[in-house]
Amino acid sequence: MFQSLENHIAYDIGKRSIAPLRVPGDLQQATKALFTANRVGILTGFYVLRAGTGETDGPPGAIALARGLAKLGKYPVIFTDAPNLPLLRAGLDTVAPDIPLVEYPFENTDVFVTHQLDKGFDHLVAIERAGVARDGNYYSMRGESITAYTAPMDCLIITARSRGIRTTGIGDGGNEIGMGKRFGLVQAYIPHGETIASTTTTDFLITCGVSNWGTWALLAGLSVLSGESVMPEPHVEHDVLQALIRAGAVDGITGIPKMLIDGFPLAVHLQMLESIRHIMEINQ
C-alpha cells in the first residue's frame, strides 16, 4: 500500500522534475513513527513575495494532519510565523478551533526552540516550509530571496534531531525543510537548484507533486494502522481553502487569491484525495 501511495502522490503535476528527489520507503517509516508519537509539532507556511502573503499549499495539509492526529488521541500543535499566522488562524477557526497555533519568532529563536522542545514533542512534521539554503537565505522556487519574511523554523528541526526527536519533511520543489536529504539531486535536477536547494534534513522525506498530497498519504497510512479513518472530507478541504483565501492567502504559482493550489483548481486536488482514499480502502 505505501509504495502505491508514494507512486501516486509523486505525480509531477507542476513539471518540476521531482522524480529524483523521492526517497522510497520514507512514507511508510514516517507513518509508523507518527503512529507511535504523542505530541506532534507541525510546521508550515510559505511566503509569496509578489503577493506579500502566504500560499495555499501547506496550511490545508497541516490542518488536515492536525485534525487526524487529534482524532487518534494525539496532541498536535501547529507552528507558523507572523506572515502566515492569520491564514492558519482562519483555517483552524473554521474546522478545528481547539488545535493550538503557535507563532514562531524571527528573533531569539534559541530560547523559543528550547522552551518548546522541553514540552515533550516526539515528532515534528514540516509541510511546504522553506528550508535554509547553503548561503543562509530562504528562496522561492523562482530563486527570489524571501529571507526577510521567513522565520528560521529550521532551528526547531535541527535541534529536535540533535535530541533524537523524529522529524518528517514534506515538499514538492527542493527548497523545503527536509529536502536537505536530497541536496545534491536538487542542485542537479531542479530549476535554480544551485541557489534554492534546502540544506535542512529530516529523518523522513515525502516528495510529492503538491505538498498537501503528502499529508493526505500520511493520513491514509495512519487510517490503516489505526483501523479508524482520519482522512479529511472534501467539503472540509473546500471550507479550509476558502477560509485561507478570505484571510489573505494566495495561490503560490499565480499569486492570486482564488480557489487554487499550486496553479490548479481545488477539484483537481480533490480527485487526488479520492484516489488516495481508494488506495487506503482497498488495504483496510
The answer to whether residue 282 scores a pLDDT higher than 90 is no
Domain count, the chain: 1
Predicted confidence at residue 129, as pLDDT, reads 98
Work out the average pLDDT over 181-196: 97
CATH number of the domain bearing residue 134: 3.90.1640.20
Q: Cβ distance 132 to 178 under 8 Å? A: no
pLDDT tens-digit profile of 28-68?
999 999 999 999 999 999 999 999 999 999 999 999 999 99
Domain span at 141? 2-281
Q: Cβ distance 8 to 212 under 8 Å? A: no
Work out the average pLDDT over 218-244: 97
The answer to whether residue 284 scores a pLDDT higher than 80 is no
pLDDT tens-digit profile of 97-124?
999 999 999 999 999 999 999 999 999 9
Q: In which band, very low, low, confident or very high, does the pLDDT at 197 lie, cut at 50, 70 and 90?
A: very high
Predicted confidence at residue 283, as pLDDT, reads 79
pLDDT tens-digit profile of 156-167?
999 999 999 999
SS (H, E, C) the chain: CHHHHHHHHCCCCCCCCCHHHCCCCHHHHHHHHHHCCCEEEEEECCEECCCCEEECCCHHHHHHHHHHHHHCCCEEEEEECHHHHHHHHHHHHHHCCCCCEEECCCCCHHHHHHHHHCCCCCEEEEECCECCECCCCCECCCCCECHHHCCCCHHHHHHHHHCCCEEEEEECCCCECEEHHHHHHHHHHCCCHHHHCECCECCEEEECCCHHHHHHHHHHHHHHHHCCCCCCCHHHHHHHHHHHHHCCCECCCCCCCCCEECCEEHHHHHHHHHHHHHHHHCCC
Q: What percent of the chain has pLDDT over 90?
A: 96
Work out the average pLDDT over 214-242: 97
Predicted confidence at residue 42, as pLDDT, reads 98
